[in-house]
Amino acid sequence: QSIQWFPGHMARAKKQIEKSLKQVDAVAEIADARIPVSSRNPILEHIIQGKPRIILLNKRDMADPTATKQWVSFYQQKNIEAVDIDCKSGKGLGAFQPAVRKVLAPQIASWKQKGMTGRTIRVMVIGIPNVGKSSFINRLSHGSHAAVENRPGVTRSNQWFSIGKGFDLLDTPGVLWPKIEDKMVGEHLAFTGAVKDDILDLEDLASRLLELLCRLYPNAVRSRYKLGETDFSGMEGWQILQLVGKKRGMLVSGGEIDTERTSKMLLDEFRAGKIGRITLEQAGGVQ
């Protein structure tokens, strides 16, 4: 899908989320561990207000483990519960329910006092497209829908999933669009494949990605593309792209580098995690 930031989108998403919020005890916001800033939409913060929530840093298998640890402690310092997960393998998912129970501890204690010991915990799952929302819900629910419950105020339809006794997830209807007002956000979403490539010219995109990678993870680039001891300082992205294309023998007739093919290859390899476990945004300061 082509993703753009229209005021209409925001208004609709806001309305849908606000409606769903009334039906849940907490919010689980999924972000991409490689781009925790760009993959989160700031409107969510405003909408959920005081609702208990946790942040799930998904795709940790592709992110830099050190950076992920830093992100988790960054959120902890802000008193926000964060858990890093990998919905591809299921790793880290065991920490989800305990983390939710932790943020809901006061509520759970008050339910207990009122004798509501069997009270189901309901959590809304939200995130921008491609962040892994479906993978998360499928992994935890094994496809099982929550039982229909006759309770006023709780709309029960097939977007409820049971993930264990007394624990339901609500797949938020509607789409939380990313906020692509900022050039960096748009680029980071495009690098990771969260938005379609048509947002930017392919060669521009690959050049920008290479520039960033050479700044943050120069050794990973050198080793993947056999660039020896190349010093990238002062080099522009398109120049590095040429080097990579040359090494891979991606030439067009006449011996010129096929930068379009090189760009596609580079983006594919980055998105497949072949360049390494990489985080593009560091906690406490976006790169």
Which residues contact ligand G4P (rule: CB under 6 A)?
58-59, 61-62, 86-88, 127, 129-135
Minimum CB distance to ligand G4P, residue 108 (Å): 28
Minimum CB distance to ligand G4P, residue 29 (Å): 12
Minimum CB distance to ligand G4P, residue 265 (Å): 17
Residue 267 phi, psi dihedral angles, 5° rounding? -65, -40
For ligand G4P, the closer CB: 121 or 137: 137
Where b means 16+ CB within 10 Å and e means fewer, 212-234 reads: bbbebbeebbbebbebeeeebee
Residue with tokens 């969260």: 194
For ligand G4P, the closer CB: 56 or 257: 56
For ligand G4P, the closer CB: 58 or 207: 58
Minimum CB distance to ligand G4P, residue 272 (Å): 9
Minimum CB distance to ligand G4P, residue 239 (Å): 30
Minimum CB distance to ligand G4P, residue 143 (Å): 13
Q: Could you tell me how far CA 6 lies from the centroid of its own chain?
A: 21
Tell me the three state secondary structure of residue 31: strand
Please give the C-alpha separations between residue 153 and each of 27, 46, 47, 149, 285, in angstroms, as whole numbers. 18, 23, 20, 11, 42
Tell me the three state secondary structure of residue 251: strand
- Residue-by-residue DSSP string for 125-175: EE--TTSSHHHHHHHHHTTPBPPP---TT----TTEEE-STTEEEEE-SS-
For ligand G4P, the closer CB: 213 or 250: 213
CA distance linking residue 218 with residue 208, whole number of Å: 14
For ligand G4P, the closer CB: 53 or 133: 133
Contact 180, 200 (CB under 8 A): no
CA distance linking residue 132 with residue 184, whole number of Å: 21
For ligand G4P, the closer CB: 92 or 186: 92
